[in-house]
Amino acid sequence: MPTVAVVVDTPQHSTVRGPLSYAADEALPAGALVQVPLGRRTVCGIVWPAGAEEEPGVELKPVAGVLRSLPPLPASWCRLVEFAAGYYQRSVGEVAHAALPAELRKLDDAQLAQRLKKLAKLAPAGGPAPQLPELTEEQVRALEALAQGGAPTALLHGSTGSGKTEVYLRAVAQALQAGRQALVLVPEINLTPQLEARFAERFPDRLIVSLHSGLTPAQRLRHWLAAHLGRADIVLGTRMAVFASLPRLGLVVVDEEHDPSYKSQEGARYSARDLAVYRGKLEGATVLLGSATPSLESWYQAQRGRYLKLSMPTRIGGGALPRVRLVDMNHVPKEAAFSHALSPPLMEALQQRLARGEQSLVLLNRRGYAPVLQCLECAWKSGCPHCSAWRVFHRSDRTLRCHHCGYTERVPRACPECGNPDIQPLGRGTERLEEQLAVSLPGARVARIDADTTRLKGTLESQLASVHAGEVDVLVGTQMVAKGHDFRRVTLVAAVNPDAALFSSDFRAGERLFALLMQAAGRAGRDAAQAGRSEMLIQTWHPTHPLYAALRAHDYEAFAAETLGEREMAGLPPHAHLALLRAEARTQEAAQAWLQDAARVADELGAAAAGVTLYPPVPMSIARVANVERAQMLLEAASRPALQRLLSAWLPELHGLRGAHKGLLRWAIDVDPLAI
Partner DNA sequence: AGCACGCCGACT
Partner DNA sequence: GTCGGCGTGCTC
List, as residue ranges, the binding site.
375, 378, 384, 387, 402, 405, 415, 418
Closest CA to 4 of 74, 79, 55: 55
Q: How far apart are CA 560 and CA 299, in angstroms?
A: 8
Determine whether 328 is exposed, middle or buried from the number of CB atoms within 10 Å of its CB (0-12, 13-18, 19+).
Answer: middle
CB nearer DNA, residue 53 or residue 499:
53
Nearer to DNA by Cβ, of 49 and 611: the residue is: 49
- Of the pair 16, 649, the CB lying nearest DNA is at 16
Listed in sequence order, the residues at least 6 apart from 103 whose beta carbon sits closer than 8 Å to its beta carbon are 217, 218, 220, 221
In angstroms, the CA 571 to CA 566 distance is 8
CB of 245 to DNA, least distance (A): 24
Nearer residue to DNA within complex by CB, 642 or 665: 665
Shortest distance in whole angstroms from residue 208 CB to DNA: 34
Shortest separation between residue 59's beta carbon and DNA, angstroms: 8
d(CA 65, CA 221): 20
Dist. CA 54–CA 8, nearest whole Å: 17
Orientation angle between helical segments 556-570 and 509-523, nearest 10 degrees: 170
Among residues 322, 250, 263, 270, the alpha carbon closest in space to that of 295 is found at 263
**Which of 315/582 has CB closer to DNA?**
582
Q: How far apart are CA 293 and CA 515, in angstroms?
A: 6
CA–CA separation, 554 and 504 (whole Å) = 23
Q: Whole-number minimum distance, CB 33 to DNA, in Å?
A: 17
Show Cβ contacts of residue 170 under 8 Å, excluding neighbours closer than 6 positions. Answer: 135, 139, 143
Cβ-in-10-Å burial (0-12, 13-18, 19+) of 208 comes to: buried
CB 184 within 8 A of CB 195: yes
Return binding residues for Zn(2+). 375, 378, 384, 387, 402, 405, 415, 418
What single-letter amino acid sits at 331? Answer: H
463: number of Cβ within 10 Å: 20
Closest CA to 55 of 87, 21, 18: 21
CB of 31 to DNA, least distance (A): 19
CA atoms of 193 and 508, how far apart (whole Å): 30
Concatenated DSSP letters of 482-504: GSS---TTEEEEEESS-GGGGG-
The residue among 93 and 319 lying less far from DNA, judged by its C-beta, is 93
Nearer to DNA, 94 or 473 (CB): 94
* Nearest distance, CB of residue 52 and DNA, angstroms: 13
In angstroms, what is the minimal distance from the CB of 660 to DNA?
Answer: 10
- Residue 428, phi then psi, degrees to nearest 5: -150, 135
Tell me the C-alpha distance between 106 and 36, whole Å: 13
**CB nearer to DNA: pick between 281 and 662:** 662
* Closest CB 63 distance from DNA, rounded Å: 9
Closest to DNA by CB, 37 or 383: 37
Asked if residue 107 lies in contact with residue 22, where contact means CB atoms within 8 angstroms, the answer is: no
Cβ closest to DNA, residue 23 vs residue 529: 23
Identify which of residues 39 and 458 has a Cβ nearer to DNA in the complex.
Answer: 39
**Residue 429, amino acid:** G
Q: In residues, how long is the chain?
A: 676
Amino acid identity, position 631? A
CB of 28 to DNA, least distance (A): 14
Q: Which of these, 291, 298, 191, lies nearest to 238 by C-alpha position?
A: 191
Q: CB 92 → DNA: shortest distance, Å?
A: 14
Residues found near DNA in the complex (CB under 7 A)? 10-16, 20-22, 36-41, 53, 56, 58, 60-61, 659
Q: Tell me the closest approach of the beta carbon of residue 103 to DNA, in angstroms.
A: 16
